[in-house]
Chain A
Amino acid sequence: MAIFLQLLFTGLGIGAIYALVALGFVLLIRAASVVNFAQGQFAMVGAYMLVICFNVLGLPYLLSMAISIVLMAVFGVIFAGATYWPLRHRGGLPVIISTIGASIFLENIVLFLYGPSPEVLPGLFDSPGIQVGQVFMDSQYLSILVAAALLVILQYFIFEKTLLGKKLQATSQDKEMASLLGIPVAAMILFTFSYSAMLGGIAGMLVAPVLFVSVGMGGLIALKAFAANIIGGYGSIPGAILGGLALGVAETMGAAYISVPYKDAFAFAMLLMFLMVRPQGLFGEKISEKA
């Protein structure tokens, strides 16, 4: 039981990372109907920004994080300008392909600039963690969970309680109508890209001390975030969060109880299972085209 609880804690921690990336993913789907295949690379880029600020420039940790988050916001806008903007009137397929191109580009340009050897980042806190009953709570996993929870709450407030949030929701529901009502649709979409890049970047920075910071870290995270999306229900925000957590737990348990080398296969197995049995996911409204 102790081991089970310990695994549950670790699983939730890693699941929170998937959830954050999945959240950024869903927001883009809803705001701009963009399926962004470079969402995981957002996490990778964010982690490398932290590495540069903290390891290379020697800035304080929290300041490094703050700077990296701001940089990610700018990065999100540049990303939108390159991959989404020129193709926005040509339907979903070209944008998907161009984000795939962007993911390859980002990985390899970082590889070229930084080399293949992984970077190590220290955790947010010096203390290794706290013992709660039979479970040892690693401080970084705790930070991840707390930060993810705060972000989710923050997002809820932005979307539900502010005018900006209303405008964003209006944009995601009907761009034409929104623009007729005087909502600057283009700005809303760019904001969403920016916010989504920040979410991804934060996920990368949080997970960096747990994993190593490497060029390939984003790809796997993105795959699982997408799986989390389908498991939770495509386009559903609570679905993305719950799906991410569920996936993190399932994967951690699977690695512990079944097989370590095939750890990454569990997400895929779950994804396939859901596609076969419940394609609309846990929370899904089925998104169908209007005739």
Chain B
Amino acid sequence: MSVNLASARLWRGFPQAILACFAVVAVAFMLPSDGYYLNILMQAVTYAIAVSGLVVVLGYCGQISIAQAAFFGLGAYGVAIGMVDYHLGFFPAWLCGIGAAGLLGLLLGLGSLRLGGHYLAMVTISFQQILTLFLTNWLEFTHGPDGIRDIPRPRLGPISFEGGHAFLALCLVTLVIVTLAVWRLKTGRLGRAMQAVRDNELAAGTCGINVFATKVIAFGLSAVLGGIGGGLFAGGFQYISPDQFSFGESIVLLTMALLGGVQSPFGSLVGTMLLIILPEWLRFLKQVYLAVYGASVILIMVFLPDGLWGLMLERVRKRAKPILGDVAKLPLLTQTGQESAEFVLVIDGLAKHFGGLKALDGISLAVRKGSVHALIGPNGSGKSTFINVITGLYKPTAGKVTFAGRDITHAPPHERNRAGLARTFQNIRVFRGMTVLENIMVGAERPGNDIAENPALVVERALAALDFVGLRGDAHRDVGALSYGHQRYVEIARALAATPQTLLLDEPAAGLNLTEKHELGELLRRLKGHGLTILIIDHDMKLVEQVADHITVLNFGKRIADGSPRDVLNHPDVIAAYLGEPQEEAGAAS
């Protein structure tokens, strides 16, 4: 199965794209020579390329960019200045424009994407304004507000793109290629990483995704796509001026993406075509058209969150076929291993203070390789803080964390995951915009996993993980449609698909009902004996007793007991921590 699956995926969309290329070229040459139609189409097609950039950055990666017209303008000015002032050919000049857009995009992204999404929004608005200032005021370089006219069109060997039809054909073929690439991106490894970042940055990081780099790449790609569209725009209209790349145009591009549906390049295509053609029909709106755009942005957000394309898809949605056939079991399950004397995770004097609150106050703990180690303690004892520090979500105030012989105290979350540390979350963190299978593929694809480089094997591994937790039948459902308990299984499967060396479970039984808790206990027992190290945090004593080889008890950020389950659960301090201490209370009362 895997071979067929792989080759089918490798060329997916290519035949259709080649057909589409022939079709659009034929259509381009059959159009009437009337400049009006050519211009409208030229505008729609070049805009659509830029809008597909918004699909990548906003739709896939969830980052708001409001400078797409600026990147579009950089591409256009690259072609115009390069050809008119520096007498470059069209294609080199185009590359310069695309390069400028990409480079500035990367710089802006590097500066702002470490922080939340609204930073990028604001930085891109600023960038948009500044660029307009430069285009208008830097007369020697940009020709100022008058713009640049008489931009030539290219000739490539024997093929001339100087005629309107031929140039339109070039634009259309570029659009087909861009659309194919953006569409394929979504179901590829990088696209899945982007969507994971969009849906849950923290979880994405703990699945081995470098969140910051992924966001920068998404934004850089969108800038490049803006540049590609802009270069063609300059060639198409042969005249450009700063007002064509203003803030208002960025909003128009954003509206196009949102209206059509920002989750798919086809959606953005629909949105672009509509908004280019509609104003032509609704000429009476000219006075207020931007007001209408503004209002429609709000209305779309409220009533059409997935855009027109999303609406259409919902109508025609086919039930995805289940993937049948046996797949190789998780490698973990085929191996056996027992607890060894070796320590895999060593925590030394770990402290985490939030202001004056000492959530962790110098905790030392060593987890034996292949053991199931439970960390328990009353509410507020620091258990979740502990796991968050171990997985790199919080920076420790003091102390050292060593994993598999390596000091990871200061490593970012994705590097810890790549080193073999996987986790689940107390308050479930699945990627809600994706299917169950895609969620688990994100786990399986962590860099360094044995099968990460082979898309077909990634699918197999994800299916194997689903088999293990018993959710194979739900593979193609949206993960949000699953019950709470099953979403927790998705998290566990996602972690297991990454072939971790150590699995951290943060209160896996929280929020589960009795039956589900029982099932969870069964599942954890099936994980035992295969050499996987598990560190489990929970309140549920029954669960912990069933599975744990060792128990450590925390209270008020300190370790109060450590040892075998029987010893620890009978330890007077532990009983006092859980049930209170009668003498002390009596003493306090008197």
Residues of A within 8 A of B (CB): 35, 37, 82-83, 86-87, 90, 92-94, 96-98, 100-109, 111-112, 219-220, 223, 226-227, 230, 234, 261-262, 264-265, 267-268, 271-272, 275-276, 279, 287, 289, 291
Contacts and interface: CB of A to CB of B under 8 A. Distances in A.
Interface residues of B, number: 47
B123 interface: yes
Contacts of B111: 272, 275-276
Contacts of B394: 291
A97 B255 CA distance: 10
B295 A105 contact: yes
A291 B294 contact: no
Residue from A82, A97, A109 having most chain B Cβ neighbours under 10 A: A97
B114 interface: yes
B251 interface: yes
Contacts of A83: 298
Interface string B238-277: 0000000001100100110010000000000000000000
Contact of B114 (A223, A262, A279, A287): A279
Contacts, number: 125
A268 B127 contact: yes
Given A100-B254, A108-B288, A35 B118 contact: yes
24 contacts: A37-B121, A87-B302, A92-B118, A93-B117, A97-B258, A98-B297, A98-B298, A100-B251, A101-B298, A101-B301, A104-B251, A107-B294, A108-B293, A111-B290, A227-B126, A264-B133, A268-B129, A268-B130, A271-B123, A272-B111, A276-B111, A279-B114, A291-B388, A291-B425
A275 B130 contact: no
B202 A289 contact: yes
A151 to B, nearest CB: 24
Interface in B89-132: 111-112, 114-119, 121-123, 125-127, 129-130
In the A-B complex, list the 7 residue pairs whose CB atoms are closest, starting with the nearest. Answer: A101-B297, A105-B294, A104-B294, A108-B291, A108-B290, A35-B118, A268-B126
Nearest to B395: A288
A82 B425 contact: no
Contacts of A37: 121, 125
A87 B247 CA distance: 25
Contacts of B291: 104-105, 107-109, 111-112
B112 A94 contact: no
Nearest to A216: B247
B294 A87 contact: no
A6 B302 CA distance: 49
A104 B297 contact: yes
B168 to A, nearest CB: 30
Contacts of A276: 111
A107 B112 CA distance: 27
Nearest to A29: B118
B547 to A, nearest CB: 24
Given A104-B290, A108-B294, A279-B115, A96 B64 contact: yes
Contacts of A289: 201-202
B216 to A, nearest CB: 13
A90 B303 CA distance: 12
B364 interface: no
Contact of B62 (A93, A264, A279): A93
Contacts of B119: 230, 275
A63 to B, nearest CB: 30
Determine the main DSSP class of B at the interface with A.
Answer: helix
B398 interface: no
A234 B119 CA distance: 10
B294 A223 contact: no
A102 B123 contact: no
A83 B302 CA distance: 9
A274 to B, nearest CB: 10
B305 interface: yes
B124 to A, nearest CB: 11
A143 to B, nearest CB: 28
Contacts of B126: 223, 227, 267-268, 271
Contacts of B62: 93
Please report whether the interface of chain A is mostly helix, strand, loop or mixed according to DSSP.
Answer: helix
Contact of B302 (A86, A104, A105, A265): A86
Nearest to A109: B291
Contacts of A291: 202, 384, 388, 393-394, 425
Contacts of A101: 255, 293-298, 301
Nearest to A34: B118
Contacts of A102: 294, 298
A81 to B, nearest CB: 11
Contacts of A82: 298
A144 B291 CA distance: 31
Contacts of B295: 101, 105
Contacts of A287: 116
Nearest to B389: A291
B115 A106 contact: no
A102 B291 CA distance: 9
Contact of A104 (B129, B130, B133, B293): B293
Nearest to A36: B118
A21 to B, nearest CB: 13
B187 interface: no
A227 B122 CA distance: 8
B66 interface: yes
B483 interface: no
A261 B144 CA distance: 13
Contacts of B454: none
A265 B133 contact: yes
Nearest to B289: A108
B297 A97 contact: yes
Given A82-B298, A101-B295, 20 more contacts: A35-B118, A90-B305, A92-B117, A94-B301, A100-B66, A100-B297, A107-B290, A107-B291, A108-B288, A112-B288, A226-B122, A227-B122, A234-B115, A262-B133, A265-B130, A275-B111, A275-B115, A276-B111, A291-B384, A291-B425
A92 B116 CA distance: 10
Interface centre among B127, B301, B425 (most CB of A within 10 A): B301
A101 B303 CA distance: 14
B137 interface: yes
B287 interface: yes
A113 to B, nearest CB: 9
Contacts of B201: 289
Contacts of A219: 129, 247
Interface in B38-80: 62, 64, 66
A258 to B, nearest CB: 14
B123 A272 contact: yes
